[in-house]
Amino acid sequence: MPSKTDIRTLSKEALIAQLEQLGEKPFRAKQVYEWLWKKSATNFDEMTNLSKELREKLKLHFELLPITAYKVQKSNDGTIKSAFQLHDKHLIEGVLIPTEDRATACVSSQVGCSLTCSFCATGFLKRERNLTAAEIYDQVVLINQQAQESLGRNLSNIVFMGMGEPMLNYSNVLDAIEKITSEEGLNMSAKRITVSTAGIAKMIKKLGDDGVKFNLAVSLHAADDEKRNTIMPINEHNNIEVLIEALQYFQSKCKGELTFEYILLDGVNDTIEDAKKLIAICRQLDNVKVNVIEYNKIEQADFHKSTIDTRDKFIDYLSKYKVIANVRKSRGKDIDAACGQLANKSK
């Protein structure tokens, strides 16, 4: 028997064409499409306004491959980390981060990661494969259900800061965001979505060419090439000068917010001299903000977080020179859900 098509890999036009070949009217395909992306159906039997005959026909020719919650952990601070199982048994992790005024989903874009950043647990995993657009979308749906159940409200924000490098899964990430933001999908605002990248210059320029509406965060973590090469090997092929040029291009084309993520590592990148270099980078861009992040300990690396005094002096120096800097408090450390800690320990 021929293999079935994963129905969520089809565009609406392709779905209409395939169902027409099966003798169905275009409006039936539109109903199916709504069940897939607006109502988030996980099997064909949920599609109750379709005839039983059509549902059986769909089962015969197509398959639905939803992700499922494999293990869920709740932190003392209310953060919820989920290990999600994919149809091929791979695991990824996603996090619900609640605050007083927000409910944020942190989602993954790849199984593992290929970038080997030395302070990040995911960087020590092998990159197995890219996630499909549907697998990214499913994380949002399931974490939104968690927000409804545990907080009594819907997600307010989505950040692509989980496992993997979103720019190395470009088309699927953008397709997922289209499904999440479309009126035919979840209808969330693109302004509430932030995609984080380690700084792949050519793909940042492509974001500009594609005129994306979401926000961009760049994991900078060091303000000169020598230090950044040491902790982020990707800098050897995407150095700071090249990165700045790409970000200038992005800002000339897109109106989304731009943020630098900067993990303070004791004795590595936390001096006033480092702050001066960071200010020089920020001055070459428009309205860029800095999120200062405390380092979260991982087993694989011998880094330490900067002292509170060092952190405060660093931020005060940035503020003195009109760079907007905020401390991003880490959540879920007790369940390895904080920034840099996702490592699939749930197996």
Structure tokens at 19: 């169902």
CB within 8 Å of 297: residues ≥ 6 apart: 303, 304, 305
Please say if 34 is a catalytic residue.
no
Q: How does pLDDT run across 140-153, given as a tens digit for each residue?
A: 999 999 999 999 99
Q: For domain 5-63, say whether CATH 3.40.50.150 is its number.
A: no
Query: Burial level of 124, CB count in 10 A (0-12/13-18/19+)?
Result: middle
Mean pLDDT of 170-176: 98
Domain ranges across the chain: 5-63, 68-335
Whether 177 shows a pLDDT value over 60: the answer reads: yes
Q: For domain 68-335, say whether CATH 3.40.640.10 is its number.
A: no
pLDDT, position 308: 94
pLDDT, position 337: 53
Q: What are phi and psi of 69, to 5 degrees?
A: -75, 120
Q: How does pLDDT run across 268-316, given as a tens digit for each residue?
A: 999 999 999 999 999 999 999 999 998 877 777 778 899 999 999 999 9
Tokens 């494969």, residue located: 129
Q: Amino acid identity, residue 136?
A: I
The yes-or-no answer to whether 5-63 and 68-335 have a common fold is no
Q: How does pLDDT run across 221-243, given as a tens digit for each residue?
A: 999 999 999 999 899 999 999 99
**Which member of 13, 56, 93, 273 is catalytic?**
93
Q: How does pLDDT run across 80-118, given as a tens digit for each residue?
A: 999 999 999 999 999 999 998 999 999 999 998 887 787
Q: How does pLDDT run across 112-138, given as a tens digit for each residue?
A: 888 778 778 776 677 889 999 999 999
β-pair partners for 130: 110
Whether 340 shows a pLDDT value over 70: the answer reads: no
Please say if 339 is a catalytic residue.
yes
Q: How does pLDDT run across 206-216, given as a tens digit for each residue?
A: 999 999 999 99
Q: In the structure, what pLDDT confidence band is assigned to residue 160 with cuts at 50, 70 and 90?
A: very high
Q: In whole angstroms, give the CA distance from residue 256 to residue 246.
A: 15
**Which member of 117, 254, 282, 339 is catalytic?**
339
pLDDT, position 246: 98
**Strand extents, DSSP E, 33-90:** 62-63, 68-74, 80-85
pLDDT, position 112: 87
pLDDT, position 343: 57
Q: Which residue has the higher pLDDT, 201 or 344?
A: 201
Residue 238 DSSP symbol: S
pLDDT, position 344: 52
Cα 59 to chain centroid distance, Å, stands at 31
Q: In whole angstroms, give the CA distance from residue 236 to residue 231.
A: 11
Q: How does pLDDT run across 16-70, given as a tens digit for each residue?
A: 999 999 999 999 999 999 999 999 999 999 999 999 999 999 999 999 999 999 9
